[in-house]
Structure 1
Amino acid sequence: MIKPLEKNTARPQLEALLDYARDGDVIIVHSMDRLARNLDDLRRLVTHLTSQQIKIEFLKEGLTFTGEDSPMSTLLLSVMGAFAEFERSLIKERQMEGIALAKKTGCLQRT
């Protein structure tokens, strides 16, 4: 069992998947940012899964990792994972700015 690195990251469905996955399984994920919240977690999860002979396929990125990966695939995992983390940070930042603006203009009221 792998625990997420971030202490505020409760991911019961991910934990269930990790408990359920077995040698020879293939895990298909829509995109890297759906599996992990940051690059460290993504790399750790992919390494853990492939070390147990579990393939992982990312549909959006068109990448599959098997544990017998080349230096190029390792680089792609890091680069694409970093972009996913960056994109997630930008979305969160814009969301916070939008909430602050809505509060300032009175559009967001708590009842």
Structure 2
Amino acid sequence: MLIGYARVSKADGNQVLDLQIDALIKEGVNKENIYTDKISGSKDQRPGLENCLKALRENDTLVVYKLDRLGRNLKHLIQTVEDLTKRKVGFKVLSGQGVNIDTTSPAGKMIFSIFGALAEFERELIRERTMAGLQAARARGRMGGRKFGLSKAQVRLAEASMKNRDTSVTELCKELNITRACLYRYISPNGELRENANKVLGE
């Protein structure tokens, strides 16, 4: 099944959103399977995107008009598509710089792998700088490291809640007293445990 996502900022106006929706429908996406947001791409809270990601199932394909409609930045974009790939969900871009990206085809996978390599390179640079900073801090007698933000019980609650398609992410975050960014560091949109969650659980 094809699932579409379209986004405009509040300043863009409805016509730009209509353009995206028309392109998605022309590609074969049913109108009832198109999720939308009218919000800046830099915002963490995008209800339409969250509902879209939760609706996707194995062998579905997420279709967007342009790459910048989906990701807040390169890191967020790569992480989102990597999560889709793990779930065996395809990703296709219709226009702009990413027009040749279609992870359901060999050529599209190769192109996106280049993005992945760039993101990995960026992560390694950040990791090296972080480690160098920690070593310098230890040399001065200071210990560093980020503490976990969720308990074991909260991780299990979040896991079960995110596996339920009817769960409101906003309400869940309020219940756990955390931000959406914090939640997604532990649990993926479809309820899978991430590295931080496994560390808390000791797995």
Q: TM-score range by the shorter chain?
A: 0.5 to 0.7
**Residue in 1 aligned with 2:88?**
53
Q: Which amino acid aligns with 2:114?
A: L
Which AA in structure 1 matches 2:102? T
Distance 1:77 1:32 in 2: 14
Moved over 4 A (4+): 76-79
Larger radius of gyration: 2
> Is 1:42 the equivalent of 2:80?
no
d(CA) in 2 for partners of 1:73 and 1:8? 24
Contact 1:22/1:52 (CA < 8 Å) preserved in 2? yes
Q: Following the alignment from structure 1 to structure 2, what is the Cα–Cα distance between the partners of residues 76 and 27?
A: 18
Q: How high is the sequence identity, in percent, across the aligned residues?
A: 28
TM-score for the superposition, normalised by structure 2: 0.32
The equivalent of 1:25 in structure 2 is 60
SS where residue 102 of structure 2 aligns? strand
Partner deviation per Cα, 1:34-93 (whole Å, 9 max, x = no partner): 0011001000000000111100001112211149733x43115677xxxxxxxxxxxxxx
- Partner residue in 1 for 2:112: 73
| CA distance in 1 between partners of 2:49 and 2:113 (Å) | 22
**Aligned equivalents of 2:64, 2:117: Cα separation in 1:** 17
Letter of the 2:90 partner, please give it.
K
SS at match of 1:75: helix
CA distance in 2, matches of 1:8, 1:63: 24
- Stretches of structure 1 that go unaligned for 5 or more consecutive residues are 1-6, 80-111
Quick one: which amino acid aligns to residue 47 of structure 2?
P
How many residue pairs end up in the alignment? 72
- SS state at 2:63 partner: strand
Cα RMSD, aligned residues only: 2.6
TM-score, with length taken from structure 1: 0.56
Task: Report the CA distance between 1:9 and its aligned residue.
Answer: 1.7
Could you tell me which of 46, 54, 57 is aligned with 1:11? 46
Specify which structure has the bigger relative contact order, considering alpha-carbon pairs within 8 angstroms and separated by 6 or more residues: 1
2:7 equivalent in structure 1: none
Gaps in structure 2 of 5+ consecutive residues: 1-41, 119-203
SS at match of 2:92: strand
**Structure 2 contact 78–115 (Cα < 8 Å) conserved:** no
